[in-house]
Structures are given as C-alpha cells and as structure tokens.
C-alpha cells in the first residue's frame, strides 16, 4: 500500500516527525545557546566572585597597613629597636599585643640591613626566626610598594618555613631627619589566600592569587595554573586574584545533557515506530472486516454481518454497520413489497373491473332463468350458481378495496365506542359458534383514525378469531395507552393459532390457509392500519391461540 493511500502510514510518518523533529530542533537550539548562556551566567558570577575576593584582600591589607603605620609612629620604638631599652615594659607589651593575632607570625624590627635586629613572636609564630637557628634574610625578595608600606615577598612555604610576606614601614625619623630603621608585620600568606575561598561549581573553578613570584592556591601553596584564567581587580601592583576555569569540565554537563536529549529522541522515535507499527497492524485487522463488509453490501449481500468485538470506536462502527445493513435490508424488502403490492393492486383492480360487470350480467340472466324454470332440480342449480356469483362479487369487492384504498378521514374515535360497535356487529356471529366476545373497558384512550376503516380492521380480526376458535372459546379485546402519542389495541383468542413458519406471510396479499378464503383480509387490515399511521403485528403465543397487536396514534386536543 502506497504512502499517499494509507492513512495508517501517514499517521506513522506524522507521529515520527512530531516526536523527533521538535527534539532535533530543541537539541540544535540547546547546543547553540547553551554556550552563550553558560558564558553569560558564569561570566557574571565570576566577575562578582573576583570583585568580592579582591575587596576582602584589600580590606585585609588595609587593616594591616593601618596597624603597621600606627606602630611605626610610636615615639620610643626606635630606641627600643636599637638598644632594647624599655622602661616599664610598655613597648614590649604593646608589640606583644599587636603581634598576638592569628594572621601574624610576629613583628620584626630592622635597622638599615636586611636582617631583623629585634623579634616579637605572635601566637602563630613558627620556624625562622622564632623557633630555629635559621635567620630571616630578605635579600633578593621582591618588593611592592603600596603608599608608605613595602610589601616584601611573598615567600613560598618550604620544609622549614611556612609561606609569608612582610609589610614593612620606616619608623619615625630622628629630629635631624636620619633614618632610625623600620618595623614589619610578619604576615601569614595563607591568611590572604584563604580569603579567596575554595573551589566552586563542583571543582570546575579554582581560585588562585597572582603575585610577583608566581601563583598560589587558596591554602598558600604555589601552583602552575593551566587552562583559562579569569582575572580580577589588582589589590597591589602585581597582586591579583584570579580564577582558573576548565572549559571542558564546565561544559561537559551540558554536552552530556545534549547527548541525553538526542538519545531520548532516538528512543522515543524507535518506541513510537514500534508501538505505531503494532497499533497500525491491529487497526488494519480491525478495519479489514469493515472494508469486506462494505464490499459485500455493495455487491448486494445485505445479509452480511461483521463480528462485533470490543467496546471501542471501531466496534461501535461495526455495530452501526450491521444496523445499517439490517435497516437497508428492511428498506429494500419494504420497497420491493410496496412495488409488488402496487403492481398487484393495479393488476387486481383491472381484473376486478373486467370481471365485475360480466358477473352482474350473468347474475341477472341466472335470476331470469330461475324465475321461468319449473323444474325444481334446475332451480336449485341456478340458485347455487347465483350464490357463487355473489361470492365472486364479494371477492372482487375485496380486490378493489385492496387495490384502491380510500384515504383516511381521521377524527377522534374513543376506543370504548369502537369496541361497542364491533361487539354489536360481531357478537351474534360469535354466539352462533358458541364463543364469548369480551371487550375490555378502555375509556381513557381516544384514537386519531378513520372510524370506518378501523372498524373494518377490527371486524376482519374478530372474524378470523371466530373462524379459528372452537365452541367454548374466548375472544378478548383490550386497549392501553403506549406513551403520550399512541395506544395499543389487542385482539386475543384461544383458537388454533398460526404456525411459526407462516407467521410472517399471513399479511401478504392472497396468502391464505383457508379452503374458501381470498387471502386479502389481513392484507387489507394491515394496509388500512398503516394508512392511519399505525402498525399491525401478529405475536405468537406460548399457549394456544393468536394475539394481534394494533399500535395506533392517539387524538390530541387542537
């Protein structure tokens, strides 16, 4: 089956496109904008992080600068540095207090040389020049100036010495203006690098501090950064917080997400294809009987029925198809019957006209012969001939009534009045056969029918019941309302009944089981009932007898 002629395949293609195409488009857009979005997000975040780090380091250095500036201006400090003279221990106590902070190893006093001449240890003091024989020599160390303060170092950590830097400032000059040495804060390098914080974004971003002697990580260890560097503001000349970024590691979650998206799209496409293939196969199996049924009906097989399975839309369509086939069969049968009856009516009417006039002439002649005949035997023969002529005339009247029924003249006909009239006309015949005719009380029902036609129908039905019953039998007339628009009249007897195999034929024209019947009584009755907008049904009884049901419209007040 080609694609353009297969709804199932069209829906399969549309479903695949509908499930895969959006994922491909989303994946492409995701790949296109993820980098830009990530760059924007991380760029803003990194800038803020670097600015905050620079602010913390700057604040730390400002505090230490203020501290060294305050100490360098103390009047008696130069004398204490040269001679150790400290009347009252005031200077020593001050220096010990100032050195006793976690960020300092101690305070160092210098003359004009690179080695300290006086040392005040702090609470974090360790290594040279506090607890070892190693001397602290500043020769060759890089010097950065920040106003009046010199920042010496930093010095990387070693086996014998933790990383440090010195913040040194000259002491107040003598009255003659000569230099009296300098004072320095022995600062822990880790106290500065710790201000940068640890790794962020799951270890993708590593903070480092750029200095004149190299890069240090957040715990003060020298590192050699690789990959991409994001630089922050300078806190001192040559001192700058930075972030080391691993782009591959940074983008890897997005790449993995994109790959996952494409894998999901492929899986969705495969699952959609498999499911739709199976569903299309089942749908084809469900639709094929409908196609075969339509072809069978088109070929004229109106008795074809589709097996009804399930309770879904296709099952509902199968039920509707079967109902349609049944109604089509009924309509075709009804149409054929109407056409057959119409043709039969025209033929019967023509035959009746051709026969009725000669019969009248024959009857007149027979009557004339009978009046002049002296022989009694011949007179009896002529009377029999006249009787048969009357019977044939009645048959012709029935044929004419069937072929040319009069349009009904409807009026309000109370059912109890209808039953009373039928009883008056037919009770004598019933009594002659020793039968009981029993009309039930039914004052509530008023019919909208032609009075004479329905009386004729009721008389035909009662005559059939009288002929079917044995002596002592009963014929019952009943009526009841059936909704707001119709009433039901029942004529029931306990006679010989109708065989089930001929039940559907007894209302056909000229069908009869009686030796002297015309087969038009029930046909005319059904015709008259239908002309009055009703229906006639003959229902089989479980016990002996027959039940004829008339459903007729009721009268509504105008």
Highest mean pLDDT: which of 184-193, 309-318, 457-466?
184-193
**pLDDT score for 380:** 74
* Last residue within a domain, chosen from 240, 269, 299: 299
Are 386 and 531 members of one domain? no
Are 333 and 270 members of one domain? no
Per the structure, the count of domains in the chain is 3
Give the torsion sign (CA, 27, 28, 33, 39): positive
Residue 181, in any domain of the structure: yes
Are 293 and 185 members of one domain? yes
What does the DSSP 8-state code read for residue 554?
B
Whole-number Å distance between alpha carbons of 303 and 322: 9
Under 8 Å CB-to-CB from 390, ≥6 apart: which residues? 363
Helix residue ranges, H only, 476-538? 521-531
pLDDT over 90 percentage in the chain: 9
Three-state helix/strand/coil letters over 58-78: HHHHHHHHHHHHHHHCCCCHH
pLDDT tier, 402 (very low <50, low <70, confident <90, very high otherwise): low
Residue 305, in any domain of the structure: no
pLDDT tier, 187 (very low <50, low <70, confident <90, very high otherwise): very high
- Map residue 215 onto helix, strand or coil: strand
Are 366 and 264 members of one domain? no
In this structure, of 167-181, 347-361, 422-436, 494-508, the range with the lowest mean pLDDT score is: 347-361
Other Cβ atoms within 10 Å of 441 Cβ, number: 10
Residue 304, in any domain of the structure: no
pLDDT at 472 exceeding the cut of 60: yes
* Last residue within a domain, chosen from 246, 276, 299: 299
Q: Is the model's pTM score more than 0.85?
A: no
Are 287 and 330 members of one domain? no
Residue 48, in any domain of the structure: yes
Residue 392, in any domain of the structure: yes
Are 393 and 447 members of one domain? no
pLDDT in tens, 380-392: 777 777 776 766 6
Cα angle value 544/512/551 (rounded, 5°): 65
pLDDT in tens, 14-25: 766 766 676 677
pLDDT in tens, 109-143: 988 877 888 888 888 887 778 876 667 777 888 99
CATH of the domain at 378: 1.10.287
CATH of the domain at 442: 3.30.565.10
Closest CA to 498 of 525, 462, 538: 538
pLDDT at 190 exceeding the cut of 80: yes
Whole-number Å distance between alpha carbons of 391 and 516: 10
Are 287 and 333 members of one domain? no
Average pLDDT in the chain = 79
Give the torsion sign (CA, 519, 520, 526, 529): negative
Are 134 and 50 members of one domain? yes
- Rg, Å, the chain Cα set: 62
Residue 494, in any domain of the structure: yes
Are 421 and 472 members of one domain? yes
pLDDT tier, 355 (very low <50, low <70, confident <90, very high otherwise): low
Residue 307, in any domain of the structure: no
Tokens standing for residue 491: 């004529």
Closest CA to 345 of 184, 143, 479, 524: 524
* Last residue within a domain, chosen from 299, 328, 359: 299
Other Cβ atoms within 10 Å of 195 Cβ, number: 21
Cis peptide before 462 (omega within 30 of 0): no
Whole domain around residue 123: which residue ranges? 1-299
**pLDDT score for 74:** 87
Tokens standing for residue 30: 């995701």
**pLDDT score for 1:** 44
Whole-number Å distance between alpha carbons of 455 and 462: 10
Are 202 and 258 members of one domain? yes
pLDDT tier, 457 (very low <50, low <70, confident <90, very high otherwise): confident
Are 390 and 413 members of one domain? no
**pLDDT score for 161:** 81
Are 322 and 391 members of one domain? yes
Other Cβ atoms within 10 Å of 370 Cβ, number: 16
pLDDT in tens, 140-175: 889 998 888 999 989 898 887 888 999 999 988 888
- Contact between residue 134 and residue 116 where contact means Cβ atoms under 8 Å apart: no
Residue 490, in any domain of the structure: yes
């Amino acid at each position: 089956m080609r694609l353009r002629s297969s709804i199932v395949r069209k829906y399969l293609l549309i479903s695949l496109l509908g499930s895969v195409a959006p994922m491909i488009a989303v994946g492409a857009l995701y790949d296109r904008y993820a980098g830009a979005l990530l760059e924007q997000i991380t760029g803003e975040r990194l800038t803020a992080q670097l600015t905050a780090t620079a602010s913390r380091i700057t604040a730390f250095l400002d505090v230490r600068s203020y501290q060294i500036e305050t100490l360098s201006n103390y009047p008696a400090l130069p004398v204490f540095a040269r001679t150790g003279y400290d009347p009252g221990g005031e200077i020593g106590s001050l220096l010990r207090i100032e050195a006793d902070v976690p960020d300092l190893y101690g305070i160092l006093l210098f003359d004009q040389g690179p080695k300290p001449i006086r040392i005040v240890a702090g609470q974090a003091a360790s290594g040279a020049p506090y607890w070892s024989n190693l001397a602290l020599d500043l020769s060759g160390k890089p010097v950065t100036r920040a106003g009046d303060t010199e920042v010496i170092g930093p010095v990387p950590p070693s086996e014998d010495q933790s990383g440090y830097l010195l913040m040194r400032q000259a002491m107040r000059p003598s009255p003659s203006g000569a230099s009296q040495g300098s004072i320095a804060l022995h600062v822990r390098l880790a106290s500065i690098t710790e201000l940068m914080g640890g790794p962020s974004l799951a270890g993708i971003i590593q903070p480092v501090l750029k200095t004149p002697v190299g890069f240090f990580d957040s715990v003060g260890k020298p590192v050699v950064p690789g990959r991409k560097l994001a630089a922050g503001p300078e806190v001192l000349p040559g001192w700058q917080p930075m972030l080391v970024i691993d782009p591959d590691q940074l983008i890897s979650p997005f790449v993995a997400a994109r790959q996952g998206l494409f894998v999901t799209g492929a899986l969705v496409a495969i699952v959609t294809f498999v499911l739709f293939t199976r569903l299309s196969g089942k749908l084809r199996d469900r639709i094929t009987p409908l196609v075969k049924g339509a072809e069978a009906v088109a070929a004229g097989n109106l008795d074809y029925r589709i097996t009804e399975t399930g309770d879904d839309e296709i099952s509902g369509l199968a039920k509707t198809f079967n109902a349609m086939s049944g109604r089509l069969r009924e309509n075709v049968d009804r149409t054929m019957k109407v056409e057959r009856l119409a043709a039969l009516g025209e033929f019967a009417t023509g035959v009746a006209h051709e026969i009725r006039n000669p019969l009248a002439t024959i009857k007149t002649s027979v009557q004339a012969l009978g009046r002049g005949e002296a022989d009694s035997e011949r007179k009896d023969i002529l009377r029999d001939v006249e009787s048969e002529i009357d019977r044939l005339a009645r048959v012709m009247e029935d044929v004419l009534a069937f072929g040319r029924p009069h349009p009904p003249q409807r009026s309000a006909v109370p059912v109890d009045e209808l039953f009373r009239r039928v009883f008056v006309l037919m009770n004598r015949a019933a009594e002659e056969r020793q039968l009981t005719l029993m009309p039930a009380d039914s004052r509530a029902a008023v019919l909208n029918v032609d009075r004479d036609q329905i009386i004729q129908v009721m008389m035909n039905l009662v005559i059939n019941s009288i002929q079917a019953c044995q002596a002592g039998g009963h014929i019952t007339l009943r009526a009841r309302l059936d909704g707001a628009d119709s009433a039901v009249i029942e004529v029931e007897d306990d006679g010989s009944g109708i065989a089930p195999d001929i039940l559907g034929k007894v209302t056909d024209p000229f069908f009869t089981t009686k030796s002297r019947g015309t087969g038009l009584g029930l046909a005319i009755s059904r015709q008259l009932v239908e002309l009055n907008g009703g229906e006639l049904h003959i229902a089989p009884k479980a016990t002996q007898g027959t039940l004829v049901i008339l459903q007729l419209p009721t009268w509504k007040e105008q």
